[in-house]
């Protein structure tokens, strides 16, 4: 019966996605042909608003079938008019739904840096384009060795893609580990942490290089599933029991924006050291959160 319920819920999610996908694409196509910055800005906000409604409907569906206990701390004094960079540990595909539920209506619609080649994916590529996801062009080390004249062009292309966010508040997510945490991955990568994989600084450096002077704050987000990691199918089948989310606001420091991560060894070391210290704190925090302790006094409990 649980599997049957999962199939029914999945069908509901697909229907809900189609309902909101149509106006989202329509507004984005109108935006592409509009003259003037004011109208373009308006029709940039409308697709994000459609996506916000889509998230609200998804959250209602999930809350109907799951009796999830939410403990969320640190989300006071956030604003939809600000720009945020979210640094998050990654445990499950459910993480994205958790983040959307927690931050929907509190900060601008969450966006990801996406490889430019993925714009051609059926359905998803069009959706990402409509939502103004920042597409990034990243050259491999091997490619740059053969084509040294291309060095730095990938960063400039990403910066150019992000200029449209100067007039529209934006939130960008970076799953710092680059993949979902598992015990096998922890052993394979020789992670020094018990609860985390090694953090990767390159993606954050790219985001700050492209948008650093736009961001108002870094949001250091820690996700824990106290009763064990939840899969997407678990959520569809009503087995999503509890989640804890802790959010810490951090400043974008001037050295981060001024640094040259790709070309300066000292800047790279400084950035990696900063991220390593952040990850040590996160490791200790996860241990406490697994015991049921949230480190902030401002706790929001959603039932």
- CA–CA gap between residue 71 and residue 227 (Å, rounded): 13
> For the chain, how far is it from start to end, CA to CA, in angstroms?
24
Domain limits for position 139? 68-302
Q: Of how many residues is the chain composed?
A: 303
The answer to whether residue 104 sits within a structural domain is yes
Token pair recorded at residue 36: 């003037």
Determine, yes or no, domain membership for 26.
no
Cβ contact 235:101 at 8 Å: no
DSSP, res 136 = E
Tokens of residue 278, six digits: 């952040």
pTM for this prediction: 0.86
The CATH number of the domain holding residue 295 is 3.40.1130
Q: How far apart are CA 47 and CA 127, in angstroms?
A: 10
pLDDT per residue as tens digits for the range 19-67: 988 888 888 888 878 776 767 777 777 888 888 999 999 999 999 999 9
Per-residue model confidence (pLDDT) at position 144: 67
pLDDT attached to residue 56? 93
| Non-local CB neighbours of 122 within 8 Å, separated by 6+ positions | none
Q: Is residue 50 one of the residues assigned to a domain?
A: no
Domains identified in the chain, total number: 1
Task: State which residues of the chain have pLDDT below 70.
Answer: 36, 38, 137-141, 144, 150, 152-155, 157, 161, 294-303
> The tokens of 190 are what?
């020789």
Contact 48, 109 (CB under 8 A): yes
**Could you tell me if residue 224 is inside a domain?**
yes
Whose CA is closest to 48, among 20, 78, 18? 20
How far is 68 from 64, CA to CA, in rounded Å? 10
- What local confidence, expressed as pLDDT, does residue 236 receive? 94
pLDDT score of 300: 56
Which pLDDT value is given to residue 193?
Answer: 95
Cα–Cα separations (whole angstroms), residue 143 to 149, 160, 174, 235: 10, 21, 25, 42
Quick one: which H or E segment has residue 172? strand 171-175
Identify whether 197 is part of a domain. yes
H or E segment and range at residue 111: strand 110-112
- Residue 60: inside a domain, yes or no? no
Residues 6+ apart with CB under 8 A from 63: none
- The answer to whether residue 112 is domain-embedded is yes
Q: CA-to-CA distance for 82 and 60, rounded, in angstroms?
A: 26
Give a yes or no: residue 168 inside a domain: yes
């Amino acid at each position: 019966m649980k599997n049957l319920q999962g199939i029914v819920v999945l069908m509901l999610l697909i229907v809900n996605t189609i309902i909101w996908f149509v106006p989202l694409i329509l507004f984005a196509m109108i935006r592409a042909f509009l003259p003037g910055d004011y109208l373009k800005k308006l029709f940039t906000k409308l697709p994000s608003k459609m996506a916000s409604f889509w998230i609200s409907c998804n959250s209602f569906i999930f809350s109907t079938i799951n009796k999830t206990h939410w403990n969320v701390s640190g989300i006071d004094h956030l604003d939809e008019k600000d720009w945020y960079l979210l640094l998050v540990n990654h445990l499950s595909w459910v993480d994205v739904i958790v983040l959307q539920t927690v931050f929907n209506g509190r900060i601008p619609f969450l966006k990801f840096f996406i490889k430019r080649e993925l714009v051609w994916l059926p359905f998803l590529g069009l959706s990402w384009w409509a939502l103004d996801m920042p597409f990034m062009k990243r050259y491999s080390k091997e490619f740059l060795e053969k084509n040294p004249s291309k060095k730095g062009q990938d960063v400039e292309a990403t910066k150019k893609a992000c200029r449209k966010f100067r007039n529209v508040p934006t939130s960008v997510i970076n799953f710092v580990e680059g993949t979902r945490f598992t015990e096998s991955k922890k052993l394979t990568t020789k992670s020094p942490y018990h609860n985390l994989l090694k953090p990767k600084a390159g993606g954050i450096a790219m985001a700050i290089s492209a948008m650093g002077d736009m961001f108002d704050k870094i949001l250091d987000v820690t996700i824990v599933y106290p009763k064990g990691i939840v899969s997407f199918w678990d959520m569809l089948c009503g087995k999503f029991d509890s989640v804890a989310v802790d959010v810490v606001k951090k400043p974008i420091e001037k050295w981060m924006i001024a640094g040259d991560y790709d070309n300066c060894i000292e800047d790279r070391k400084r950035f990696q050291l900063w991220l390593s210290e952040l990850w040590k704190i996160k490791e200790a925090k996860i241990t406490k959160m697994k015991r049921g302790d949230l480190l902030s006094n401002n706790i929001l409990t959603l039932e």
